[in-house]
Structure 1
Amino acid sequence: MFRRREPVPFAFIAEADQFRSNVTPPPRTRASRSQIAGGSMIGLTVVCGLVGALLFGLPALDTSQQHTKRAPQSEAANGR
């Protein structure tokens, strides 16, 4: 590759991978019990919703012949 002859603006961005900071980030705050319980309840609600949708949708997806609707037959048609 060739080198540019003119100075490149913001050339310090190219050297950002070599920069190391001596400032440590603040420690993460721990989640409270209520936040953990709330997250668990949201997750449980989503999972229950998906399971319920699957349970209600499976009969509609069933292609076997036993679940097809037949014409109702009256007792008079049976000849009893």
Structure 2
Amino acid sequence: MAQFMDVHHGMVGITADQLRQAHQADLDIEQDEGVHFVKAWADPQSGMVYCLAEAPSAEAVQRVHERAGHKADEIHPVPLTV
């Protein structure tokens, strides 16, 4: 399955608990779209949040994020990993 890194902007001050809650909201519905969110990272100072997902498409990733209440601002395919 393809991997995607998505980026959320404007989440200045996000806490670890808020990040966990947002990630759990994705996990709770990811199967509906055939997506698996692997990990999430955040920088509270810049407000940037990053999520790594395995999914059939970027559109599937976005549909999960939208339903969970936090639409991604960018979604990038990750064609190579080591």
Shared fold, TM over 0.5: no
Greater share of strand: 2
TM-score using structure 1 length: 0.25
Structure number with greater CO (CA < 8 Å, separation at least 6) is 2
Greater share of helix: 1
